[in-house]
Structures are given as structure tokens and as C-alpha cells.
């Protein structure tokens, strides 16, 4: 399903990684909010 399905189809079985490149938005937010958002979006996309 989603991105994870593409990764598995390509043979990847490792950890999933999130990189945040947003000095003007996400880096300024509360870390707990960022983590909650990352987790929710990971569930949606993968």
C-alpha cells in the first residue's frame, strides 16, 4: 500500500526515515506536534 508498497516491491526491508527540510515552518514548531504529524502522515502514506 502506498509508498511502503513501492519500497517493498523494490526489495527494501529496512527502516523508514523521515527528513524534514522546512526551516521556515516545521523546525519552528513544537517537537511533539511535529512527531504527531509525522506519525499520522506515515500511517496515511504507508
Share of the chain above pLDDT 70, in %: 98
Cell of 33: 506536534
- Whether residue 46 is predicted with pLDDT greater than 80 in this model: the reply is no
pLDDT of amino acid 42: 85
pLDDT of amino acid 5: 87
DSSP code per residue over 1-46: -HHHHHHHHTT--S--------TTTGGGS-HHHHHHHHHHHHHHH-
- Whether residue 1 is predicted with pLDDT greater than 70 in this model: the reply is no
The vertex-25 CA angle with 21 and 31, nearest 5°, equals: 85
Amino acid at each position: 500500500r502506498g509508498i511502503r508498497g513501492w519500497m517493498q516491491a523494490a526489495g527494501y526491508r529496512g527502516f523508514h526515515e523521515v527528513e524534514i527540510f522546512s526551516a521556515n515552518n516545521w523546525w519552528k514548531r513544537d517537537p511533539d506536534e511535529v512527531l504527531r504529524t509525522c506519525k499520522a502522515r506515515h500511517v496515511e502514506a504507508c
